[in-house]
Amino acid sequence: MPKNKAKGSKIERELFQKFVENDFRAVRVAGSGMMENAECDLIAGKKGNGKYAIEVKSSKSTTRYIEKEQIEKFMIFSEIFGLKPVIALRFNREGFLFLHPKHLRNSGKYLVITLEEAKKKGKRFVQFFE
């Protein structure tokens, strides 16, 4: 397994555990990022709280670029299944920030968000999901 794929899987497992600890039901999507039609990393829900499709992204830098096409497919996937789309961003040493994909900025081929923007527009786990 390539190093960045292993790192991504580790971060997905960490977030999965956070949902479980907060009484959500959650599943990691097999083949996410590798297979056709696996358009999100996690699906989570809680009775009376809603159901979410979660795309997990991490970055060592203070800016994260995401391919526009990936987010378009993610949005379609979320809509088909009636899930609220969520981007879970983890910048090094900052913990997770959660936000709606509409907060990503268009930069041509990519959608982009900086750590500063994520801190303004994103929320921590309890704020976002409670």
Q: pTM of whole model > 0.85? A: yes
Positions annotated as catalytic residues are 32
Model pLDDT for residues 69-119, shown as the tens digit of each residue: 999 999 999 999 999 999 999 998 899 999 999 999 999 999 999 999 999
Q: What's the CA dihedral at 26, 8, 120, 115 to 10 degrees? A: 170
State the pLDDT confidence band at 18, using cuts at 50, 70 and 90.
very high
Domains of the chain as residue ranges with CATH: 3-129 (3.40.1350.10)
pLDDT at 2: 46
Average pLDDT over all residues of the chain: 90
State the pLDDT confidence band at 36, using cuts at 50, 70 and 90.
low
Query: Which residues have C-beta within 8 Å of that of residue 40, sequence separation ≥ 6?
Result: 29, 32, 53, 54, 55, 74, 77, 78, 83, 85
Q: How many residues does the chain have?
A: 130
Model pLDDT for residues 21-35, shown as the tens digit of each residue: 999 999 999 766 555
What are the two backbone dihedrals, phi and then psi, of residue 29, each rounded to the nearest 5 degrees?
Answer: -85, 120
